[in-house]
Chain A
């Protein structure tokens, strides 16, 4: 018996129509200039689709650092993709051969790869790491509101939501989670800013207006009645139903249900976007990435569990992007994948990988800049079971860039949403909101430390463009060890010292960051 056949009301909403001071917030437009003046909301027709990969995706078998291949082979021969099978994005960087769809998007400039996204002092618990990604906090901060929820509730745009919604200004849900339980990323300061639509196959029953019969008993009889009322009293039901009725999926690339639940979810999202919903955020999920064992088939490492997951991901995104184009909605939509963590560099003897830290993150859409941000992770020649990919980019840099350059959130607002400043990355090419956000010309160079290996002192040389910058040291688990340079460095060559007093032998990373520029190198401490 199917019990989740209708959309799920998650926030109580009053029936009274509501106007914001009698005028439409559209009047504020999207000019960054205006926003700096009034900081009064970010009325936009842009849409962000978040794809959560539950379980922790093995980034190293998704995006492969070809220039590190021999060291990778030492660390994970039982699962590593054969070098000749890797699909090359560039000479140095490749993608899992099953993801040809994403390779095509990359080639057409609609796919941006951000390397080694993570955060300092990573947590290796699914729950805690997921909470960190959804709430966008430092790893030692426990926050109840989510980053999207803060964005939606921190604007002056939707005061008092959900009281007074839907209304003429916002007739649709602010955010939609495909699924039953609303993501905690949508939790605002007081109430959830999103609603959930039950899982895809059931959703079609919802939009067709039918309800499965409950048990043929008196209790079932009353249950049916309550379910019908629950469905009808969802104040957004009408607008969602109308939007879904207005548009039909056009892409022939969609995988058939039930093989690809992600594709099914994105099909609904495409329909709702094309059908005219003003909803700004959609969240979809695909699970199963927690591949501790047998993630690839021995001898045919480009097949198996992980390959199947990546295949679904690639097919679903390609079809979705194709659909948006055919539906004429491509200009409005950007997508982003994320997972609570990557996986360990070294594989298990059982052919899987344990919980790791930083991992690649994807953005896609007509207006993403395309290409690769960051450099390949550095794989040491000998890797222990605890070694991890260090982060190059903080995930909150990605969030912040999306909010700023896709939704036009002001810098001031951004700091409230993300609690501190993060570097803005060149993720979007042209958005109608911000000017082209190219990495500005620069003279930054981060040199290899000397001596290396070292014990306990070493020197790090770098060139500055004449800017504020930081250089931080991380260990192999991603723990932030020390900041060795911070502040304004005039144009020219500089040198800082690093004293590894009290630290154990091993590989350490040093990372220079200034604005959008990030560079990282490895060094070895031998005691």
Chain B
């Protein structure tokens, strides 16, 4: 048990000594001029650049149709749409052939038992695949709504490792809590997370008792989930110990389906819990009843949430997720503090905070566009969605789940395992100073990113479950405004695929080397395109334009680093 505590608790700083490329990563927080703009409503242009920035940062689907759709809306309307509540998805289902007797393929496993003897582990692994693949599909298919992006945010914020607690059913439950409360009340979310089987197991809460107190969850509740480690977060070691006593008595019942947590008053520490001056020397009075655990937890959360630092810490986390990792004095004063006030004024409801942030001048400042490095989930989903890569029809469960499970493998391959950040602190790209986002890219993951985009824009693509996953460049290019003109074609693609502008020289270079095959006259592309358009089913003329578009897009994605930015 002691080992477990150390393992979860100990956040290993990234070792930059062995990997050659880390020497290029930040040695200190970059001191670049940013902006004084704050939460005042944005009143500038609402064009393709702004809409793309908005969609890239808040959704998984910055495609042409969504851009066109939002062009007919105001920013305010767009944010409303983004933050609309949506109905919860149907749960993940069985797609595997292993025998868990009562389940048919296509039926959900979330309420099914875990124990199938020697096959339990294998079945559980298949369910984990099903869960993660299902999550990828939710991201891919969501459209203009922030729910899945916030679900991912919370699953990173309340980091638990599915492979560690290793029960797909618990994984589904915690993921569902994150999704249902994505824009809801943060305090309520913290309480639900505290008592969910995944977290109770992951941070040993289920072992925490009056006779054998376990501080693991108590510490992370304060240090990672609510207060953070900022200079104004001054809880003490005594507070960690006291909170651990409050949290004693919670157990997991694995014999019911779905799993449940329950409170065992006999394991609860019934003494009074004394907190430090940071908490105004609060005493949480020890109780002794069947509701004591719940009541004392409420007291604990009330005490923690009385600290303004909670609102600031969460707003900083949101800022690093949606805007940039550098929070300079201007951002702290003009964004974090007023945002935190909105958070508190709304009784810790998330939605008004995001509403203010995405309507703000700060969000749309030039310096805040393109300064994120796409995480693997973003890289994957934007590629699939921006190129309109054909998806399996939701007819045959085995086929489409096989494809989704493979999608999850691709995201994992590039360094982001859904439901499984490397430790309790979440993905280091969102907390490890000073490198932050740069940690997504290293000598191992960069070639994998390139390999991913290259394989998508190859002739054969990748086939899974008999379904071919591949970019057909003509689907996208046929939707562009003026593809017969190679200059506007390149310009449109640059604006669509890159968040920052590139020089005209570079655009001409791209055009000449790919669309024009080294020729110097634009008409050769136009002729080829028009020949294809005049007879779109002719394989020969189609191949001529397809090959050149593939060459252009392959270079734009794997040859130019701009593609990695968001």
Seen from chain A, the residues whose Cβ lies within 8 Å of a Cβ on chain B are: 1, 3-4, 8-13, 15, 52, 54-55, 125-128, 130-131, 142, 144, 179-181, 184, 190-191, 215-230, 232-233, 235, 285, 287-288, 290
Determine whether B369 belongs to the interface, using a CB cutoff of 8 Å to chain A: yes
A3-B502, A223-B500 are known contacts. Are A11 and B454 too (CB-CB below 8 A)? yes
Apart from A130-B518, A190-B460, A218-B34, list 10 A-B contacts with CB within 8 A: A1-B503, A54-B519, A125-B544, A180-B509, A181-B513, A219-B500, A225-B25, A233-B21, A285-B518, A288-B520
Over the window 428-458 of chain B, the binary record of Cβ atoms lying under 8 Å from chain A Cβ atoms (1 yes, 0 no) is: 0000000001100111101110110010001
Is B518 touching A127 in the complex (CB atoms < 8 A)? Answer: no
Tally of A-B residue pairs with Cβ under 8 A? 149
For residue A143, which residue of chain B has the nearest CB? B543
Q: Are A217 and B443 in contact (CB under 8 A)?
A: no
Q: Is B259 an interface residue (CB 8 A)?
A: no
* A194 to B412 Cα, complex, angstroms: 28
With known contacts A181-B513, A225-B438, A218–B519 Cβ distance under 8 A: no
Whether, in the assembled complex, B506 has its beta carbon less than 8 Å from a beta carbon of chain A, the answer is yes
Cβ-based interface call for B6 (8 A): no
The distance in angstroms between the C-alpha atoms of A147 and B459, with both chains bound, is 17
26 inter-chain pairs at a CB distance below 8 angstroms, sorted by A residue, are: A1-B503, A3-B506, A4-B506, A9-B450, A9-B558, A54-B519, A125-B527, A125-B544, A127-B524, A130-B517, A142-B540, A180-B509, A180-B513, A184-B551, A191-B454, A191-B458, A218-B326, A219-B367, A220-B500, A222-B371, A222-B373, A225-B373, A229-B446, A232-B20, A288-B520, A290-B521
Q: Which residue among B25, B458, B518, B564 has the maximum number of chain A CB atoms within 10 Å of its CB? A: B518
Min CB distance B335 to A, Å, is 15
- Please tell me if the beta carbons of B441 and A221 are within 8 angstroms of each other in the complex: no
Closest partner residue, chain A, to B551 (CB atom): A181
Interface membership of B279, Cβ < 8 A? no
Residues of A close to B371: CB separation below 8 A: 217-219, 221-222
Report the bound CA distance from A130 to B544 in whole Å: 10
**Contact partner of B528 among A3, A52, A125, A142, CB < 8 A?**
A125
Residues of A within 8 A of B368 (CB): 218
Cβ–Cβ < 8 Å partners of B367 in chain A: 217-219
Chain B residues whose C-beta falls within 8 Å of the C-beta of A287 in the assembled complex:
512, 518-520
Cβ A131 vs Cβ B544 within 8 A: yes
Assembled-state Cα–Cα distance A126/B503 (Å): 27
Contacts of B543 in A (CB 8 A): 142
Contact of A290 among B441, B442, B454, B520 (CB under 8 A): B520
Chain A residue numbers with a CB within 8 Å of B372 are 222
Query: Which 6 residue pairs of A and B lie closest in terms of their CB atoms, listed nearest first?
Result: A12-B451, A218-B371, A219-B370, A54-B518, A226-B561, A228-B24
Q: Which of B512-566 contact A (CB under 8 A)?
A: 512-514, 517-521, 524, 527-528, 539-540, 543-544, 547-548, 551, 555, 558-562, 564-565
On whether the beta carbons of A222 and B438 are closer than 8 Å, the reply is yes
CA distance A405 to B108 in the complex (A): 65
A225-B551 in contact (CB<8A)? no
In Å, the complex CA distance between A142 and B521 comes to 24
* Closest chain A residue, CB of each to CB of B453: A12
**A1-B503, A217-B367, A221-B371 given as contacts; is B548 within 8 A of A127 (CB)?**
yes
Query: A225 contacts which of B24, B366, B450, B558 (Cβ < 8 Å)?
Result: B24
A262 to chain B, nearest CB (A): 13
Q: Roughly how many angstroms separate A232 CA and B447 CA in the complex, as a whole number? A: 10
Q: Are B32 and A221 in contact (CB under 8 A)?
A: yes
Closest chain A CB from B24 CB (angstroms): 4
Centre residue among A184, A219, A232 by max chain B CB count within 10 A: A219
* A13 neighbours in B (Cβ, 8 Å): 447
Tell me, rounded to whole Å, the shortest Cβ–Cβ distance linking B485 to chain A.
16
- Does B324 have its Cβ within 8 Å of any Cβ on chain A? yes
| Interface flag for B499 (CB, 8 Å) | yes
> How far apart sit A54 and B564, CA to CA, in the bound complex (Å)?
32
The complex places the Cα of A241 from the Cα of B138 at a distance, in Å, of 46
Residues of B within 8 A of A290 (CB): 519-521
Q: Decide: A229 and B24 in contact? CB cutoff 8 A.
A: yes
Interface string of B136-150 (1 = CB under 8 A from A): 000000000000000
Tell me how many residues of B have a C-beta within 8 Å of chain A.
66
Whether A55 contacts B520 by the Cβ 8 Å rule is yes
**Distance A11 CA – B448 CA, assembled complex (angstroms):** 10
When distances are taken between beta carbons in the complex, the residues of chain A under 8 Å from B34 are 218
- Docked Cα-Cα span, A13 to B506, in Å, equals 27
**Would you give the shortest CB distance from A374 to chain B, in whole angstroms?**
27
Take A127-B528, A233-B447 as given contacts and tell me if A219 and B369 are in contact as well, using a CB distance cutoff of 8 Å. yes
Give Cα A4–Cα B326 distance, bound, in whole angstroms: 28
Closest beta carbon of chain A to B453's beta carbon, Å: 10
Contacts of B503 in A (CB 8 A): 1, 3
Q: Please give the distance in Å from B498's CB to the nearest CB on chain A.
A: 10
Across the interface, which residues of B come within 8 angstroms of A190, CB to CB?
Answer: 458, 460
How far does the Cβ of B138 sit from chain A's closest Cβ, in whole Å? 28
Assess the A232–B513 pair: CB atoms within 8 A. Answer: no
- Whether a CB of chain A sits under 8 angstroms from the CB of B44 is no
CB distance from B499 to the nearest CB of A (A): 7
B447 pairs with A127, CB closer than 8 A = no
Name A230's contact: one of B454, B499, B528, B561 (CB within 8 Å): B561
Among B314-356, those with CB < 8 Å from A are 324, 326
Among A12, A181, A216, the residue within 8 A (CB) of B448 is: A12
Cα–Cα distance between A4 and B370 once the two chains are bound (Å): 19
Interface presence of B30 (CB below 8 A) = yes
**Which B residues touch A54, using CB under 8 A?**
517-519
Docked complex Cα distance between A179 and B547 (Å) = 18
With A52-B518, A290-B519 as given contacts, are A217 and B32 in contact (CB-CB < 8 Å)? yes
- CB pair A229 B528 closer than 8 Å: no
* Partner of A126 from B499, B500, B517, B551 at Cβ < 8 Å: B517
* Nearest-CB residue, chain A, relative to B525: A127
With a cutoff of 8 Å between Cβ atoms, the chain A residues found around residue B544 in the complex are 125, 127-128, 131
Q: What per-residue 1/0 map shows which CB atoms of B19-61 lie under 8 Å from chain A?
A: 0110011100010111000000000000000000000000000
The reply to whether A181 and B450 form a contact with Cβ atoms under 8 Å apart is no
Contact assessment for B450 and A12 in the assembled complex, using a CB-CB cutoff below 8 Å: yes
From A125, A223, A228, contact of B565 by CB (8 A): A223
Distance of A288 Cα from B519 Cα, bound (Å):
7
Q: Is the CB of A12 within 8 A of B454?
A: yes
> Whole-angstrom distance between the alpha carbons of A242 and B414 in the complex?
30
State the CA gap A235–B448 with chains docked (Å): 13
| A518 to B355 alpha-carbon distance, docked (Å) | 79
Q: Given A9-B447, A232-B21, A144 and B459 touching (CB < 8 A)?
A: yes
Q: Which residues of A contact B20 (CB under 8 A)?
A: 232
- Chain B nearest CB, measured from A153 CB (Å): 14
**B499 to A, closest residue via Cβ:** A219
Q: Smallest distance from the beta carbon of B283 to chain A beta carbons, Å?
A: 47
Q: Which residues of A contact B438 (CB under 8 A)?
A: 222, 225
| Measured CA separation A309–B447 after assembly (Å) | 39
Q: A177 to chain B: closest CB distance in Å?
A: 10
CA distance A7 to B540 in the complex (A): 33
A218 and B324 within 8 A (CB): yes
Determine if B559 and A179 form an interchain contact, defined as CB atoms under 8 angstroms apart. Answer: no
Residues of B within 8 A of A191 (CB): 454, 458
Provide the residues of chain A in CB contact with B454, threshold 8 Å.
10-12, 191
A227 near B561: Cβ-Cβ < 8 Å: yes
How many Å from the CB of B121 to the closest CB on chain A? 29
Give every chain B residue within 8 A of A227 (Cβ-Cβ): 561
Give the distance in Å from the alpha carbon of A9 to the alpha carbon of B558 in the complex: 8
Q: Which residues of B contact A130 (CB under 8 A)?
A: 517-518
- Of chain B, the residue at the smallest CB distance from A226 is B561
A-chain residues with CB within 8 Å of residue B517 when the two chains form the complex: 54, 126-127, 130
| Contact between chains at B373 and A226 (CB < 8 Å) | yes
The residue in chain A whose Cβ has the minimal distance to the Cβ of B25 is A225
CB distance from B550 to the nearest CB of A (A): 10
A233/B446 in contact, CB under 8 A: yes
Inter-chain CA distance A28–B411, complex, in Å, is 43
**In the complex, which of the residues A4, A128, A217, A288 has the most CB atoms of chain B within 10 Å of its own CB atom?**
A217
**CB neighbours of A179 from chain B (8 A):** 513
